[in-house]
């Protein structure tokens, strides 16, 4: 008797898409306006989903309050009102694409959960573009 529970969160960050080992011209050509040297930004909307057994006593897969607190402590505190390229060490040499941000969030959250849970990260970079990452 498995179910998936999901929790929304959000953070507002600046970033620029840039591959550090490419030249400025290569980056400009490949990433276009997303490569703007002065950055641009997004309201990222994050959905963290956990799949696991429904506890027969509590009726919970996982306590949503606890999940919400974990996201606040492990994700929002590091990304909200930050510049992903300059303020977040994980993106020093890693392009902060929505795919890579999802992977970084997954790697931060995964150790907090027992291996019996499957975890999925869904990240809206804009209301029109989003990424899903399953680890």
Which residues of this chain interact with a copy of itself, rule CB under 8 A? 1-8, 10, 12-15, 17, 19, 21, 30, 32-34, 36, 38-43, 45, 49, 54, 57-61, 64-65, 80-83, 86-87, 94-100, 102-103, 126-134
- 99 part of the active site: no
Q: Please tell me which residue in 29, 40, 81, 132 is annotated as part of the active site.
A: 81
Q: Please tell me which residue in 34, 45, 90, 99 is annotated as part of the active site.
A: 34
Nearer Cβ to a copy of itself, position 73 or 129?
129
In the bound complex, what is the minimum distance in angstroms from residue 23's beta carbon to a copy of itself? Answer: 14
In the bound complex, what is the minimum distance in angstroms from residue 96's beta carbon to a copy of itself? Answer: 8
- 81 part of the active site: yes
Is 106 within 8 Å of 90 (Cβ atoms)?
A: no
Q: Which residue has the tokens 């306006």?
A: 33
- 10 part of the active site: no
In the bound complex, what is the minimum distance in angstroms from residue 67's beta carbon to a copy of itself? Answer: 9
Is 44 within 8 Å of 123 (Cβ atoms)?
A: yes
Indicate the SS3 state at residue 62: coil
Enumerate the active-site residues.
Answer: 34, 81, 125
């Amino acid at each position: 008797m498995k179910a998936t529970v999901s929790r929304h969160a959000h953070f507002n960050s600046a970033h620029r898409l840039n591959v550090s080992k490419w030249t400025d011209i290569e980056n400009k050509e490949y990433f276009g306006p997303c490569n703007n040297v002065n950055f641009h930004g997004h309201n990222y909307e994050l959905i963290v989903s956990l799949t696991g057994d429904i506890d027969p006593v509590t009726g919970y897969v996982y306590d949503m309050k606890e999940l919400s607190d974990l996201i606040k402590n492990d994700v929002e505190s590091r990304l909200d009102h930050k510049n992903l390229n300059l303020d977040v060490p994980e993106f020093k040499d890693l392009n902060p694409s929505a795919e890579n941000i999802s992977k970084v969030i997954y790697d931060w959250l995964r150790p907090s959960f027992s291996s019996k849970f499957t975890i999925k990260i869904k990240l809206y970079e804009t209301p029109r573009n989003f990424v899903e990452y399953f680890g």
